[in-house]
Structure 1
Amino acid sequence: MSNKELSKDESLALITDMIGQAKRNVAKGGSFYFLLWGWVVMIANLGHYLIAKFDWYEHPYIVWVLTIPAGIISMVYGAKRSNEAKVKSHLDRLYSQIWLAVFIGVLIILFFMDSVNYNVNAIILTFAGIGTFISGQALRFSPLSMGGIALWIASVVAFNLNPTDQYIVGAVGILAGYLIPGYLLRRAEK
């Protein structure tokens, strides 16, 4: 390896290339998470709503067990992508930390759901909106940023409904906030 000093132009090109690689690492495969979680959470919201509304089963929240395999799939996929990444940048770490913070916030809300009168869906939509909006800004992908805004709007609507009706709003919010931007991101990745 040579000890040659880089010129200003070479240094700038190297930095630009590293930033571009980091953005590609974050963006590549990002649609997978939005699509996986979008479908799982939308189905769980709809299932919970239907079971509760029509009193089909005493414990409508049972549909949320769908998130367990989705979590396992996400972790396996994330570990595989992390091992394949050529460059792990500050942006890669920041992106994963944003979603870790959202996940921890959601867990705290779920743990104390009785303290918020079971209005958890409205709060979770707010957290999902934050993660999605920041992801859109980090990737400079406006459909994700707009998805975050859609989730915030769904959150405002949900706060004005009873806990059961919040699930139908949650399903629509996830469609607008995760699935539509997720499919647009997948198309952009190709």
Structure 2
Amino acid sequence: MKEELSHTESLKIINEMISAAKNNYEQSGSFYFLLWGWVVMTANLGHYILEKFTSFEYPFIFWTLTLPAAIVAAWYGSRQKSKTNIKTHFSRLYGEVWVAMGICMVLSLLFMSKINFNHSAIIMMLAGAGTYLSGQMLKFRPLILGAFALWLAAIICFSLPMTDQYLVGAIGILAGYLIPGYLLKSAEK
């Protein structure tokens, strides 16, 4: 025999599932902000230093750090997914926000010559959008403020020569990913 739930009981179950899914991301969300924050900040600074102060022919070499970072992120994500018993619309949507942002970032890199090499500004805008949505979904104000730091970095990048955009990008990632990431990690405990 099938039991029918009251409206209140249904809402309670839905809220519990959303809280559980949110908790899963709050418990592991800092990992991604810290991983990508350190990798992207290092790549930005490395590229900036090599291009500005040396005659090294391949200053973009630091960006190869993103390849092992993507592997680590995928491995960590699959490990977390297998540990999670609750699959909700919220948990799926949270991950898909970043999949969409990542695809847009890769596309901006593939067509950077078509966008007048303002890819740093566009990537900062996209990172800001993903960070803002994450902050809203987790109701975590430091991520929301981090998004505004990334958007400010994007605005500044649009008015700078390409080389200097890497320095601004590093500062934007520090303010937009790393500081909120460490605050989120602290809140996870």
* Pair in the same fold by TM > 0.5: yes
Q: How does 1:18-29 map to 2 (within 5 A)?
A: 18-29=17-28
Question: Which residue of structure 2 lines up, in the alignment, with residue 6 of structure 1?
Answer: 5
- Aligned: 1:172 with 2:168: no
Alpha-carbon RMSD across the aligned residues, in angstroms, is 1.1
* Alignment-mate amino acid for residue 39 of structure 1: W
* Alignment-mate amino acid for residue 117 of structure 1: N
Partners of 1:38 and 1:178 within 8 A in 2: yes
Report the more deviating stretch, 4-13 or 42-51. Answer: 4-13
Report the more deviating stretch, 10-19 or 148-157. Answer: 10-19
Matches of 2:159 and 2:81 in 1, distance apart?
A: 41
- Identity, in percent, stands at 53
User: How many residues matched?
Assistant: 189
**Regions of 4+ moved over 6 Å:** none
Matches of 1:117 and 1:90 in 2, distance apart?
A: 38
Write out per-residue CA displacement over residues 12-48 of structure 1, whole angstroms, 9 at most, x where no aligned residue. Answer: 3212211111211222200000000000000000000
Question: Which residue of structure 1 lines up, in the alignment, with residue 90 of structure 2?
Answer: 91
* Alignment-mate amino acid for residue 5 of structure 2: L
Partners of 1:27 and 1:139 within 8 A in 2: yes
Matches of 1:61 and 1:75 in 2, distance apart?
A: 23
TM-score where L is the length of structure 2: 0.96
Q: By how many angstroms is 1:120 displaced?
A: 1.0
Where 1:161 maps in the other structure, the secondary structure is coil
Matches of 1:90 and 1:9 in 2, distance apart?
A: 20
Question: Which residue of structure 1 lines up, in the alignment, with residue 159 of structure 2?
Answer: 160
* Alignment-mate amino acid for residue 71 of structure 1: A
